[in-house]
């Protein structure tokens, strides 16, 4: 038997018991003729103490041991003379009278500690060692807890878990598919799903009423730091519902997860913010609501006073940074540099200091008098002591830049509390967005999203102004999920494909099975999909999804540990009846 207890189990009540533990050597310290070893497993750490009473057979082994050796020890549990209240097992220690080396370890390439000396690439190459660090283990445990709680909650709410296929068909709409050549059907390919979207709709048509699945999805995109070619989605769909039914159901789930996973009590109804308001007030459709600092539109109030930059701008807006009236020249220059970065894209920054004595000091003093500044202050809710920051330009870009400046100021002022969760539903998204490259409308959410009943009539004459029954779920400025009430009639779906410039034959070729299914009694239905990796990261207070994926890939889509992707053998290529385009042989 390897152990009677785990390394996290022993307490005062066990004092006097003889126990057996097996685990990894975390640290070895010598102190006053005694040796202390901290022994680690998934469940915790227990201190072993070897003093003058330890048998020689045991102490003789000590010099051999090193970090990450696995040892099995048996001995008495003793009360510690100096207890460690920070450790769950800190009241006790074990005094081994037997010890065995279960497996040896070479010196690991980096420290298995929360603060490690290993660079990211090294840690990814030795991911199995990185995963031993408590920070990563805590992340994986959080992810485990999230998954279990989600399934239990949805099961209790009559959702059925149904597994949908991974070997499906490539559809040109949207991002690139990963494809899988079929050996049994030469020249043909499966595609890996970007989401189970059409299958979950078919399950609604099949009468399953409420469906969910925690499922891997695939997108062959050029990767950004926070994207992975494979990612996990919590995918859900409900029949016979309207938008509020979906929102209320998953608001319940989110509150449950706040409670049980993060011990965060959120009682209020989640705010519902329209897409237009989100853009107008926060400069983004995923606002961080942990703090206010709303954007004020001051276009009308500032124009016509002879300041050309304002007079020529489509839009002028500002935010109020509380208590920042005493910002130095240098601090203001930093902010100007911030907004001028290419990814923010503003031309310059106008500031107005509302000094504590009630006076104003601004970069545009010569164009505006204090009464004007007073008026702006009212619009931006500025008080004496505050700093007003103003950007001007094309509406969309300026709002976006103000949104980023708002986040920057939120961070500088410590308003983005990592212990706080501020959820929101963003609703009333546009149905279409114009793609200038392709010179056509594309679906903002996806082509199965239904328009608002009252906007259906616009589809032929003014599609740009149609709103969708679509919604996003946002926490702390991070988009966690999105969904919609779907189209459920063949007629509407065909109109939608038409508006998207997808021909009848293309539609039939790609989605014929769904259009056909609509013929046989399709129920009204809607759903949502959550980015599970990201939801876990946000619940753990992190913005890196990689730290919440056991075996992630790097930015080139490579798994550095197993060294994948890799060439395959000529034999494999021959069997699949494909060739490499560059003609070179592999394997």
Parallel, antiparallel or unpaired: strands 160-161 and 210-218: parallel
Shortest spacing between CB 577 and a copy of itself, in angstroms: 4
**Which of 34, 562 has the CB closer to a copy of itself?**
562
Closest approach, Cβ 139 to a copy of itself, in A, equals 11
Q: Mark the segment that binds a copy of itself (CB under 8 A) among 357-365, 366-374, 392-400, 514-522.
A: 514-522
Cβ-in-10-Å burial (0-12, 13-18, 19+) of 154 comes to buried
Angstrom distance (rounded) from CA 310 to CA 324: 23
- 106 or 437: CB nearest a copy of itself: 106
Q: How far apart are CA 527 and CA 243, in angstroms?
A: 9
Instruction: Pull the structure tokens for residue 108.
Output: 């690991």
Residues 52-111 that bind a copy of itself (CB under 8 A): 68-70, 102-106, 108
225 binds a copy of itself (CB under 8 A): no
In the bound state with a copy of itself, the residue whose beta carbon lies nearer, of 82 and 563, is 563
Q: How far is the CB of 120 from a copy of itself (least distance, A)?
A: 17
Comparison of 192 and 426: residue with beta carbon closer to a copy of itself: 192
Binders of a copy of itself among residues 297 to 356 (CB under 8 A) are none
- For the CB of residue 459, give the shortest distance to a copy of itself in the complex, in Å: 20
Q: Is 413 helix (H, G, I), strand (E, B) or coil?
A: coil
CB closer to a copy of itself out of 216 and 361: 216
Nearest approach, Cβ of residue 207 and a copy of itself (Å): 5
- Joined together, the tokens standing for residue 352 give 């107005």
Contacts of 298 (CB under 8 A, 6+ apart): 316, 317, 318, 376, 379, 380, 390
Q: Which is nearer to a copy of itself, 43 or 266 (CB)?
A: 43
Among 173, 230, 311, 506, binds a copy of itself (CB under 8 A): 230
Find the binding residues for a copy of itself in span 147-166 (CB under 8 A). Answer: 147-148, 151-152, 155, 160-166
Per-residue tokens: 97: 């009278």
Nearest approach, Cβ of 557 to a copy of itself (angstroms)? 5
Instruction: Tell me if 501 contacts a copy of itself by CB under 8 A.
Output: no
* Total residues interacting with a copy of itself, rule: CB under 8 A: 124
Q: What Å distances lie between residue 144 and 138, 258, 475, 538, 572, CA to CA?
A: 10, 15, 20, 15, 37
Which of 232, 249, 469, 476 forms a contact with a copy of itself (CB under 8 A)? 232
Site membership for a copy of itself, residue 206 (CB under 8 A):
yes
Burial class (CB in 10 A: 0-12, 13-18, 19+), 375: middle
Handedness of CA 374, 377, 383, 385 (dihedral sign): negative
Q: Is 570 in the site for a copy of itself (CB under 8 A)?
A: no
Residues of this chain, 243-262, that bind a copy of itself according to CB under 8 A:
none
Sign of CA dihedral 196, 202, 206, 208: positive
Closer by beta carbon to a copy of itself, 81 or else 103: 103
**The token pair that represents 462 in the structure block:** 């003014």
Q: Could you report how far apart the first and last alpha carbons of the chain are, in Å?
A: 45
For residues 164-203, which are near a copy of itself according to CB under 8 A? 164-170, 172, 176-192, 198-199, 202-203
**Among 417, 489, 501, 504, which residue sits at the site for a copy of itself (rule: CB under 8 A)?**
489
Rounded CA gap, 27 and 65, in Å? 10
Indicate whether 513 belongs to the interface with a copy of itself (CB under 8 A): yes
CB-CB contact of 587 with 567 (8 Å): yes
């Amino acid at each position: 038997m390897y152990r009677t207890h785990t390394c996290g189990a022993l307490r005062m009540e066990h004092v006097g018991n003889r126990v057996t533990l097996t685990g990894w050597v975390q640290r070895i310290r010598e102190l006053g003729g005694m040796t202390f070893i901290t022994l680690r497993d998934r469940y915790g750490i227990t201190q072993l103490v070897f003093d003058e009473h330890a048998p020689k057979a045991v102490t003789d082994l000590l010099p051999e041991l090193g970090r990450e050796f696995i040892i099995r020890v048996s001995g008495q549990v003793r009360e510690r003379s100096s207890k460690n209240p920070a450790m769950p097992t800190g009241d006790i220690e074990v005094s081994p009278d037997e010890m065995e080396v279960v497996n040896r370890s070479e010196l690991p390439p980096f420290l298995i500690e929360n603060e490690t000396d290993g660079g990211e690439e090294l840690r990814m190459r030795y991911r199995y060692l990185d995963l031993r660090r408590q920070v990563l283990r805590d992340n994986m445990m959080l992810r485990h807890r999230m998954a279990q709680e989600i399934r239990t909650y949805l099961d209790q709410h009559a959702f059925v878990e149904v597994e949908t296929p991974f070997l499906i068909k490539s559809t040109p709409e949207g991002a690139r598919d990963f494809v899988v050549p079929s050996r049994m059907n030469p020249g043909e390919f499966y595609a890996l799903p970007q989401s189970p979207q059409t299958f979950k709709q078919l399950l609604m048509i099949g009468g399953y009423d409420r469906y969910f699945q925690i499922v891997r999805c695939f997108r062959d995109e050029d990767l950004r730091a926070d994207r992975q070619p494979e990612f996990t989605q919590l995918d859900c769909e409900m029949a016979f519902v309207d938008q509020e039914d979906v929102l209320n159901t998953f608001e319940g789930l989110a509150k449950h997860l706040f409670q049980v996973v993060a011990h965060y009590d959120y009682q209020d109804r989640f705010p519902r913010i329209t897409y237009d308001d989100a853009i107008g007030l926060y400069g983004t459709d995923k606002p961080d609501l942990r703090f206010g600092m709303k954007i004020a539109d001051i276009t009308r109030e500032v124009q016509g006073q002879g300041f050309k930059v304002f007079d020529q701008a489509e839009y002028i807006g500002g935010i109020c940074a509380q208590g920042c009236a005493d910002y130095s020249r240098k601090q203001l220059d930093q902010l100007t540099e911030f907004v001028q970065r290419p990814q923010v894209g503003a031309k310059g920054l106008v500031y107005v200091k509302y000094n504590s004595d009630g006076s104003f000091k601004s970069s545009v003093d010569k164009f505006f008098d204090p009464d004007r500044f007073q008026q702006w202050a009212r619009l931006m809710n500025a008080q004496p002591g505050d700093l007003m920051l103003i950007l001007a330009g094309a509406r969309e870009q300026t709002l976006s830049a103000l949104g980023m400046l708002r986040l920057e100021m939120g961070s500088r002022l410590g308003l983005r509390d990592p212990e706080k969760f501020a959820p929101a539903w963003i609703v009333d998204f546009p149905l279409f967005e114009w793609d200038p490259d392709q010179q056509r409308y594309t679906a903002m959410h996806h082509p199965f999203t239904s328009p608002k009943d009252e906007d259906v009539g616009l589809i032929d004459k003014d599609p740009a102004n149609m709103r969708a029954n679509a919604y996003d779920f946002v926490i702390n400025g991070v988009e966690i999920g999105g969904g919609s009430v779907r189209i459920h009639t063949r007629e509407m779906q065909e109109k939608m494909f038409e508006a998207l410039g997808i021909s009848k034959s293309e539609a039939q070729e790609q989605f014929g099975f769904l259009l056909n299914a609509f013929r046989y009694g399709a129920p009204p239905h809607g759903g949502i999909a959550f980015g599970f990796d990201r939801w876990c990261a946000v619940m753990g207070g992190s913005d890196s999804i990689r730290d919440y994926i056991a075996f992630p890939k790097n930015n080139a889509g490579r798994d550095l540990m197993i060294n994948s992707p890799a060439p395959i053998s000529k034999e494999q290529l021959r069997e699949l009846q494909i060739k490499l385009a560059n003609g070179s042989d592999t394997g």
